[in-house]
A and B are shown apart, each in its own frame.
Chain A
Amino acid sequence: MNQNSQSDNKIIPTLNPVFAQRLSHRNNSEHTEVWNILDSVFDPELPGLTIWDLGILQDVRFENKQWVIDVTPTYSGCPAVETINQDIAAAMSQAGLDNIKINLVLSPAWSTEMISPTGKAHLKSINIAPPHQDDVVECPVCESKNTKVISQFGSTACKALYQCNDCFENFDYFKHF
C-alpha cells in the first residue's frame, strides 16, 4: 500500500454543506411522515434514485389547508419534470393526501452538491459514475481513474459519456454541475 492510499483511508467522510443544509431542513420539519411518503417517488430516468436523494425535493409544508411541495428541476429543459410531478401527486393521493400543490422553484438553482451520499452510492451501483468536484471520473466498474470523455452529453442532459482506458467499459458520468 503506498503513502497516498494510506492517507486516503484516514479521511473521515463529512457531508458537504449544501446537502447538510437540506438534511437539517428535513430533520427539523414537523412533517416527517410526508417527507417519508415522498421517499417512494423515484426519478424516472435514474432507476432507484429517489427525488430526495437526487436533491430536487426541496420543501414540504402545510399552507392554507394545502400540502405545498417545492421541487427544483435539475436542468431547465428536463423532460422528466412532468412525470415526477404526476408521481408525487400519485404518492400523496395513495397516502390519502389529495389537496396538494407542486411548486417549481428555480432558486436556489439545483446543483450536484444537493445529491445525498446515498444517492451517489446508488448511482455507482447502477454503473453511473457519481459527480466529482474536479471532474475526476472514476470507472464505476473497475474504479480506475484512467478514463476519457467520449461525449459531453450522454443518454440524458445530466450525464456525459465516458470510457474506461483500463477495462474499456463505456459508462455514463453524472456531470458535476
Chain B
Amino acid sequence: MNVEQQNLFRFLVGLGDDAVVLSHRLSEWCSNGPYLEEDIALSNIALDYIGRARMFYQYAAEIEGKGRTEDDIAYLRDERQFTNLLIHELPINDFAFTMVRQFFVDVYYCEYLKQLCESKDERIAAIAAKAVKESRYHLKRSEPWIRQLSEGTEESRRRIQAALVELENFVGELFIMSDWEKELVEAGIAVDREKLQAGWDQYIQKFLAESDLEFPDSQLQIRGGRDGIHTEHLGHMLSDMQYVQRVYPGLEW
C-alpha cells in the first residue's frame, strides 16, 4: 500500500470500528430492554450499525489486498488495534445513558454522513448515502426519548442529567482530526470534523435549553481512540464479542 492507500485503510477501519463497537454495545440491550418494543428498537439500530461496519470493513479489506476479510478485521484484532472514537465503547450503563449517547452520536452522524456523501471516493459516498438515512431515522427516536425522560419523573431527569455530564467528556474527541485524516480531507475523500463542532454544539444546546436541561461545560477532553488508546472498557467488551472466534478459529455460522 502506498501512503494514500494506508491513510484510506486507516480511515475506513476507524469508521468500521466506530460502527462495530457501538453495534455491540446496543446489542447488549437485546433481551434486557425496558419493554419489548424498546428491546426490538435497540437491536434494530444495532443491526444498522453492523451493516455499516461491514461495508467499511469490506472496502478496507479490498484496499489492503492481503486477503483479510471483514470478519478477520472485526474478530481477530486486539484492543490496541481498534481505532474507534471512545464514546462508542462506553458501557451501556442505564437506559438514560444509552439514549443520551445515541442522541449525541445521531446528531453527529446526521451531519458527518451528510457531508461524507460528497466524498470524491464513490464507494464511500455510496455507503454514506445509505447510512445517513438510517441515522436520521435513529435521531427521530433518540431525541423524543431524551425529551420524554427529562419531562418524566425526578429520577428519570436526574439520570438524564448525570448521563449528559459523563458523556460530555467524550464529545470533544468527535471533532479532533489527526494529520493523516486532514490529508484525506484535502484529497476530497474525508470530512473535516473540526468544522462540525459548532453546529453540533448549537443543535444540542438549543435542544437542552428547550428541555430545561443543563449543558455541562466539560473542561475534560478524553481522547486517544483513533490512536488505539482506549478506556478500560473496550478490552472487556472485545473478550465478549470475539470469544467464539478466538476459541474456535474459523468457525462459521
Contacts and interface: CB of A to CB of B under 8 A. Distances in A.
Interface stretch (A16-24, A61-69, A95-103, A152-160): A152-160
A152 B47 contact: no
B37 A151 contact: yes
Contact of A78 (B37, B41, B49, B51): B51
Given A75-B51, A77-B52, A152-B140, A109 B37 contact: no
Which size bracket describes the interface of A in this complex?
20 to 34
Task: Give the secondary structure class of B's interface.
Answer: helix
Interface string A99-123: 0000000110110000000000000
B80 interface: no
B51 A106 contact: no
B50 interface: yes
A109 B137 contact: no
A79 interface: yes
Interface in B54-82: 54-55
A157 B52 CA distance: 14
Given A77-B47, A106-B126, A153-B44, A177 B137 contact: yes
B127 A150 contact: no
A131 interface: no
B37 A106 contact: no
Interface string B127-159: 101110110010011000000000000000000
B122 interface: yes
Contacts of B127: 76, 106
A125 B47 CA distance: 28
Contacts of B38: 151
Given A106-B130, A107-B122, A153-B44, A161 B51 contact: no
B116 to A, nearest CB: 13
Nearest to A156: B44
Given A76-B55, A153-B37, A177-B137, A109 B48 contact: no
A157 B48 contact: yes
A79 B41 CA distance: 15
A157 B49 CA distance: 12
Interface of B: 37-38, 40-41, 44-52, 54-55, 122-123, 125-127, 129-131, 133-134, 137, 140-141
Interface of A: 73, 75-79, 106-107, 109-110, 150-157, 161, 175, 177
Top 5 nearest A-B pairs (CB, nearest first) are A76-B51, A77-B51, A151-B37, A77-B47, A107-B126
